[in-house]
Structure 1
């Protein structure tokens, strides 16, 4: 109990330190050379928007930096207080079938975690509502949260069943067999995501604006993307933020626009955004992400298996865990994978930022319209209350995209390449 109190005090002090850093200590002033440029937020945001952007971004960043260690603390709490072994004993009293034991144990652990993290997730939701990023009623937010819970439970049960099956078969090579099974499963998930998972949360329908649809499909044809339709999704029921994407593989490829993007961007800006998303497809980023996920899972499972064996041998008896194949050890495994994912996050972010910049380059070279490109990102900044130049620590851990400062500055530099040609073309048309 004393250790638990000390851990709780440590977590509170950590939260206070992160709050001070983000609100007062972090340096994120715009460099002098960019002041007055297209990337300077004072050039396209009013004082109120600047204030809201700063406050909203820093609070959301703080919530992230709290949520990650909170997950770790929950797993340690479940282990340290003997809750895991009690849940194992409880589910074994229900039935003699091990598959049901696993499903019920995962349900209890997931529910406990869901309850303990609910206050922070609800606070994040209310902040988004207060700053008018989210417009989703509480009922709709709860519905999505419950869908998240049950979808997550199903996939966790399947994953745990596979992992513990192989642990029982081979305590040394279970990670390799689990990884081999994960490959077709990961590919399958990429394939069904647009047509099975995404529609659980939102309604998708063909783009209503036929003129814009033809422009986008023409752009797709130029990019050699085999798309016959463009989809619109009713995100305005939930948010004021903007987005668009191309996802799925094979016959399930989808070009999707949020209706908020259609409402707040003009056609040229939308075409730039879509050209960016198409750039991901053309440069095979979707398949690179798939391969990257498979490679990372290989190393994650390998390292995880080694750390798991060490942790069980060192603390297993204290936690009431009878061996590697004991379901009561699941919080240990989840804690390890969460820690490994956190460590790998900055590397994944760096790779993602490179891909995003390549997609920006592809889009600007396809559309040849720097003004629309810059205008699109300025509007994205306003609508999402994004911080143009976030603190380095935030960028390191959270940013899978270049900062708005980097993106707008990069795209604005293309004015020297394309604007003279466009002006000359306009003059000829006037003559």
Structure 2
């Protein structure tokens, strides 16, 4: 009897192990389930999505080219030097000259970049049916952004050039810390003071969906006293959400496109992903990786800028500590930024993939997650090549995300079956 009982207990203990080895749902076909979702985006819609995203590859190059042309023109024409002279005449304290120069520089470059901004930010978005604004409304938002940049650039130029004067040999290291400090301050203040300038935020109505989001937040110790909905539909057709802010400014927000265009499971999947960024401390990791990139860029600028300034006395730039040389520093940074695209894409894609896995565990809605991946592929190429995804994708591709969701479903949902998905809205 004991031998029989022992054998039974041993068999019972081995069942979970054998099941785990075989997979929870050995009959669930991940490839077929993934393909069912990928086939939702076909024909002209797939071609438009691919064309829009592939065009973005060229924008990386052209953005750098336009920046070099604009900044080069400011240097070669002597306009930058004249802006510095004007700033020097208007303020008595030398340390304030870079700040006023930063204001004048922001105004001039806003006008010079405006035609390109109109094409990339309005015309192209409208061509691909992603724009909800009139040109007038779009321009008002750009003017608001200009107002913010006038204040930020006045402070940033003052701080950076103070560092260059104080640490002429190691300014690139100290300057990196200054940039990270400004970025951290922006993350802290942005949700409260900046974002409401562009959108109206209202409390999400009470109901089962809000309760579901609150429960997900509570399970991971995320403050959820307020859940806001922004009126992003007046600007774009994109769906979005975030857990933004730092410390006392942390808040959960989603846009009205997400609420109006998706199912409750899709909303939960998106919110689980965004909560993943918060729980996994991705803000701090992003600051670290971004800071490393800035450090390298500043080091290259510190090595190249003095030589270029010495070779071009007609620019009227005295040395690196002269704010009139700002266009040169920014031109170098623009080129390096374009070259760093694979680095930037890889860092952000790594974080996004981590948040995807967290979101699947938090929301437990793999089909909702897969549906959202298809909706996001309305403006992101759905099935790129592996090298293409490695170089240019700052999020996992739709195919990668759908397959991850179907793998999670196979591994975590008892009795999982393949659904015939639809995108009803």
Deviation at 1:249, TM superposition (A): 1.4
Structure 2 residue aligned with 1:106, among 76, 79, 102?
102
Structure 2 residue aligned with 1:411, among 386, 395, 405?
405
Cα-to-partner distance string for 1:208-260 (whole Å, 9 max, x where unaligned): 24321111010111122232221111111111111111121111111111110
Q: What is the CA–CA distance in structure 1 between the aligned matches of 2:309 and 2:177, rounded to whole Å?
A: 24
Cα distance change of structure 1 residues 75 and 391 upon mapping to structure 2, 3 Å threshold = farther
Larger radius of gyration: 2
Q: What is the CA–CA distance in structure 2 between the aligned matches of 1:391 and 1:99, rounded to whole Å?
A: 51
Deviation at 1:150, TM superposition (A): 2.3
52-61 or 318-327: bigger deviation = 52-61
Q: What is the CA–CA distance in structure 2 between the aligned matches of 1:287 and 1:61, rounded to whole Å?
A: 28
Q: What is the CA–CA distance in structure 2 between the aligned matches of 1:155 and 1:421, rounded to whole Å?
A: 55
Deviation at 1:262, TM superposition (A): 0.6
TM-score (norm 2): 0.82
Contact 2:239 2:255 (8 Å CA) reproduced: yes
Q: Does 1:74 align with 2:70?
A: yes
Cα distance change of structure 1 residues 380 and 163 upon mapping to structure 2, 3 Å threshold = closer
Residue matched to 1:148: 145
Number of equivalences: 388
Structure 2 residue aligned with 1:399, among 369, 393, 396?
393
Cα distance change of structure 1 residues 350 and 106 upon mapping to structure 2, 3 Å threshold = same
Q: What is the CA–CA distance in structure 1 between the aligned matches of 2:206 and 2:188, rounded to whole Å?
A: 27
Cα-to-partner distance string for 1:287-321 (whole Å, 9 max, x where unaligned): 211233334333433333233233323x2424222
Residue matched to 2:369: 373
Structure 1 residue aligned with 2:330, among 334, 351, 358?
334
Q: What is the CA–CA distance in structure 2 between the aligned matches of 1:120 and 1:392, rounded to whole Å?
A: 31
Question: Equivalent residue of 1:414, what SS?
Answer: helix
Structure 2 residue aligned with 1:274, among 247, 264, 271?
271
Which runs of 5 or more structure 1 residues have no equivalent in the other structure? 1-33, 424-431
Residue matched to 1:245: 242
Structure 2 residue aligned with 1:420, among 381, 394, 414?
414
Deviation at 1:121, TM superposition (A): 1.9
Contact 1:264 1:379 (8 Å CA) reproduced: no
Where relative contact order (Cα < 8 A, 6+ residues apart) is larger, the structure is: 2
Contact 2:95 2:162 (8 Å CA) reproduced: no
Contact 1:103 1:157 (8 Å CA) reproduced: yes
Deviation at 1:276, TM superposition (A): 0.8
Question: Equivalent residue of 1:232, what SS?
Answer: strand
Q: What is the CA–CA distance in structure 2 between the aligned matches of 1:254 and 1:75, rounded to whole Å?
A: 38
Residue matched to 1:160: 157
Deviation at 1:404, TM superposition (A): 1.2
Q: What is the CA–CA distance in structure 2 between the aligned matches of 1:285 and 1:392, rounded to whole Å?
A: 25
Q: What is the CA–CA distance in structure 2 between the aligned matches of 1:371 and 1:284, rounded to whole Å?
A: 26
Contact 2:346 2:391 (8 Å CA) reproduced: no
